[in-house]
Amino acid sequence: MASTLEIVILAAGKGTRMRSDLPKVLHRLAGRPLLGHVVDTAHTLGAAQVCVVYGFGGEAVPQALADERLTFVLQAEQHGTGHAVMQALPQLADGGVTLVLYGDVPLTRAATLQPLVVAARAGRLGLLTVNLADPAGYGRIVRENGRVVRIVEDKDASAAERAIREVNTGILAAPSAALKRWIAGLGNDNVQGEYYLTDIIAMAVRDGVEVETHQPAHEWEVLGVNSKAQLAQLERIHQGEVARALLEAGVTLADPARLDVRGVLRCGRDVSIDVNCVFEGVVELGDAVQVGANCVLRNVKIAAATKIDAFTLIDDAEIGAAGRLGPFSRIRPGTRLARDVHVGNFVEIKNSQIDEGSKINHLSYIGDTTMGRKVNIGAGTITCNYDGANKHRTVIEDEVFVGSDTQLVAPVTVGRGATLGAGTTLTRDAPPGELTLSRTRQVTISDWKRPSKK
């Protein structure tokens, strides 16, 4: 059996250049804290324990990721990456292997990390390096006869060492017992007065432990976030990858550069998405669903062949097949639309169930409502669901016709097949099959004169 994998994520740094009160690792990429992306990758690798070393920002970091199967270790003062790993050592089992990741390096793929873990399980030190056109600022990989012998930090490097383009990503894996021994031997006699994790490389070489390097498939996998500009850059790279995967799966994207997925987007066959749409949480689009420009969909399930027109917002709802929504519709939490429901412009629906074939095409508010089949709601209809203290339900049965500019003061029921005349304010139940209206009889006053200026 392969030895246990434990993962230490360094996340104690302040991130001064973010110019923010929020700890750096809690800034969001694709709607999830940077650290959350690293945690997801750690769990994907099957880690028995994921240990987060936090510091700056105090309890904000453990609080933000309280439900994610993590061990938290405080590094109260930051004395370097070696010092950070040192704080986690008591948590690590001697017989296992440890992989060190960084809370501000969010896009490393599990497939890139796997070979490092394999190396550590074979008793070697696995190190992720990358060749950069501009290596300034990074620790350099010093090799002799092709073999890694040590890492020298940029600030401690000679001019010749600074010319080395192969740099340390910081990501490494090693047998935990050896890691503990090496970390215990670290000193801080260097330009920055810090305990460098990178010094363990020379210790491994001295102990006869082979250092095995791997490189990521893409440079962006090892890019860290130090500023808002870098955060925005990684966001675009991530979104580009999401778009690429959707295109590969057969989704039509009007412009892959104008799509934002902040969560999970699952699509059936022949789905098409116009520009500037935002998908949050878990969104499922059935076969042949079309989403118009500038829509925001959050935690939504949309069944096959439904068309969502431009500028529509849907939050926490289920939309049936062959429906038509928008442009400019707003669907709020707790809404369930059955198949073939039409919702038009400037219509807001909240916590309502609407059955097959019903239409609410213009300028209406439908809240806390149960609506039957083939109901037609006229323009400007309002369900008055709130009395200032409590919410009440409106029930509209099958095949009701509601005239324009009608208010239904809940709790109220409109019986099957009833018609409400335009302009009705309904305060009592309307009987099935009948015409109910509340407006006064129309009169014409023949000798009436408009007021004139004196």
Given the rule CB under 6 A, which of 78-86, 230-238, 341-349, 434-442 is the region that contacts ligand UD1?
A: 78-86
- Residue 79 or 374: the one with the smaller Cβ distance to ligand UD1 is 79
Token couple for 225:
């976030």
Q: Which residues, at least 6 apart from 206, have a Cβ–Cβ distance to it below 8 Å?
A: none
Q: Which of residues 356-385 bind ligand UD1 (CB under 6 A)?
A: none
Least Å from the CB of residue 204 to ligand UD1: 15
Q: Which of 53, 86, 304, 349 binds ligand UD1 (CB under 6 A)?
A: 53
Judged by CB under 6 A, which stretch of 62-70, 191-199, 289-297, 308-316 contacts ligand UD1? Answer: 191-199
CB closer to ligand UD1, 32 vs 336: 32
Q: How far is the CB of 187 from ligand UD1 (least distance, A)?
A: 13
Nearest to 402 by CA among 417, 384, 386, 385: 417
Residues 98-157 that bind ligand UD1 (CB under 6 A): 102-104, 138-139, 151, 153
Q: How far is the CB of 63 from ligand UD1 (least distance, A)?
A: 18
CB 257 within 8 A of CB 273: no
C-beta neighbour count of 159 within 10 angstroms: 6
Q: Does 10 bind ligand UD1 (CB under 6 A)?
A: yes
Residue from 97, 125, 197, 259 touching ligand UD1 (CB under 6 A): that is 197
Nearer to ligand UD1, 231 or 313 (CB): 231
> Which of 83, 262, 298, 350: binder of ligand UD1 (CB under 6 A)?
83
- If binding means CB under 6 A, how many residues of this protein chain bind ligand UD1? 27
- The answer to whether residues 105 and 223 touch, using CB atoms and an 8 Å cutoff, is yes
* Contacts (Cβ under 8 Å, ≥6 apart) of 345: 326, 327, 328, 329, 361, 362, 363
Q: 76 vs 435, which CB is nearer to ligand UD1?
A: 76
CB-based contact 268:304 (threshold 8 Å): yes
- Quick note: the x/- pattern for ligand UD1 over 247-286, rule CB under 6 A, is ----------------------------------------
Distance of closest approach, residue 24 Cβ to ligand UD1, in angstroms: 7
Closest CB 33 distance from ligand UD1, rounded Å: 13
Which of 41, 49, 81, 424 is in the footprint of ligand UD1 by CB under 6 A? 81
Q: Which is nearer to ligand UD1, 155 or 236 (CB)?
A: 155
Q: Which of residues 213-252 bind ligand UD1 (CB under 6 A)?
A: 224
Q: Which of 43, 218, 362, 392 is catalytic?
A: 362
**Residue placing its CB nearer to ligand UD1 in the complex, 128 or 253:** 128
Min separation Cβ 222 and ligand UD1, Å: 8
Tokens read off for 269: 């066959």
| Choices 34-42, 164-172, 340-348, 351-359; region in contact with ligand UD1 by CB under 6 A | 164-172
Stretch that binds ligand UD1, among 193-201, 349-357, 364-372, 388-396 (CB under 6 A): 193-201
The verdict on whether 362 is a catalytic residue reads yes
State the minimum distance, in angstroms, from the CB of residue 51 to ligand UD1: 12
Query: How near is the Cβ of 190 to ligand UD1 at its closest, in Å?
Result: 9
Among all residues, which ones are annotated catalytic? Answer: 362
Chain residues binding ligand UD1 by CB under 6 A are: 10-13, 53, 75, 78-81, 83-84, 102-104, 138-139, 151, 153, 167-170, 196-198, 224
